[in-house]
Amino acid sequence: MTSKKTVHIAVYDTLADWEYGYAATAVSGTPYHRAPRDPVEVRAVSLTGAPVTTLGGLRLLPDLALDALRSEDSSLLILPGAQLWDSGEDLAPFAARARAFLQAGVPVAAICGATAGLAREGLLDDREHTSAVAEYLAEQPGYKGHDRYLDQDAVTDRGLITAGPTEPVAFAREILAELHLMEPHVLDAWFRLYRNSDPTAFLTLMSAAEAAAADAAGTADGSGRDGGE
């Protein structure tokens, strides 16, 4: 029996296209997972369920509205950046939902402008975190997490992942680690390949994909490690 995971990605007008792509693809579309036969579904959530237009001009059709999103139905919530995070409180409901997720023990991942929204919500005050620069968060009303700011590519603290706008690969790395989707050495190779174009990492990933395919084939014909159960 499979244990299905569902990752929700918040989408909104002016969404920063480059910030969630690595995470979405690596979560749902790579052959390197620890349990590749266990599906991971990625679903898009907008404020009202209506289509949105990204910063790159793509028109996205969400799967559900924010009101229908429940923490018990999700394995992780991703909040990408968008210009709207810096131009008012239109996206504040997503920050409020992030609070509910964290309180329920469901991880949240925020990058770029979404970290500002979480700062205004008070979610960074007692957790280590990062963003574009410390000064960006310091400008946010009510932010009290100055002493918790770390100048790193991405930070995870008690279920909350944060990253700056130039770190989509590190952001995805932390998400993959939080969901335990790859063996540590495979995740390290994935990061080295997509961050540093390390050719040795590619060989590690190919070996992982071959092993996963062999395991899946063995399970299908009853000769895998779970085939006798």
Q: Pick from 5, 8, 22, 13: which is nearest to 163 by CA?
A: 22
In whole angstroms, give the CA distance from residue 164 to residue 115: 8
Beta bridge partners of 161: 109, 156
Active site residue 112: yes
3-state secondary structure 140-153: CCCCCCHHHECCCC
Three-state DSSP state, 191: helix
The residue annotated as part of the active site, out of 44, 47, 95, 112, is 112
Pairing, β 59-60 against β 52-53: antiparallel
Pairing, β 108-111 against β 64-65: unpaired
Active site residues: 112
